[in-house]
Structure 1
């Protein structure tokens, strides 16, 4: 997905929302900010100390209890700003 070729409308927040990125295996986590979000992905901001963020797949926790979360994959990076696409699980047959 190229930046700008968005398939679904995004909701931009006037004040970014605090969230957490957690590795798939749960061994590391990073604080982040959600700048905008859609059905298919989001634009996130990382603190300066996380400038070497290298996870390709991770969970985005949108609530402090982890109830609202999305599995993500990294699609673009620009400094401390990243674009992620939500990974949808295949329906069970």
Structure 2
């Protein structure tokens, strides 16, 4: 586990974990690779153009059926690499 500035511990994965980013309104999706994750967020490497993340609110689908997911907000975008924050509670997307 790797500590961060905020004290949250991230787990870095040795093997590729493929996931999908999905727009909150369902208009776009992007495949991605999970680089590291914590209880509060993750870092992903996006396949294809990251321009769609300008909407800033989206879902990270953790399963191929879409039954396991996290509601997310974009924190940082650097090329194809994105830092995302997992949203909790009843805040709107």
The alignment's TM-score, normalised by the length of structure 1, stands at 0.84
Query: Aligned partners of 1:83 and 1:17: how far apart in 2?
Result: 16
**What is the aligned-residue RMSD (CA, Å)?**
1.3
What does 1:30-49 correspond to in 2, within 5 Å?
30-47=30-47, 49=48
Q: CA shift at 1:77, angstroms?
A: 1.1
The alignment's TM-score, normalised by the length of structure 2, stands at 0.84
User: Structure 1 unaligned runs (5+)?
Assistant: none
CA 70–51 in structure 1, closer or farther in 2 if over 3 Å, else same: closer
Equivalent residue for 1:64? Answer: 64
Aligned length: 86
Query: Aligned partners of 2:20 and 2:26: how far apart in 1?
Result: 12
Query: Aligned partners of 1:60 and 1:39: how far apart in 2?
Result: 14
Equivalent residue for 2:27? Answer: 27
Q: Cα deviation per residue 1:6-29 (whole Å; 9 max; x = unaligned)?
A: 332111101221000110111211
Equivalent residue for 1:77? Answer: 77
Query: Aligned partners of 1:29 and 1:61: how far apart in 2?
Result: 10
CA 71–51 in structure 1, closer or farther in 2 if over 3 Å, else same: closer
Q: CA shift at 1:52, angstroms?
A: 2.1
Q: Cα deviation per residue 1:5-60 (whole Å; 9 max; x = unaligned)?
A: 2332111101221000110111211111100110000000012x314232300000
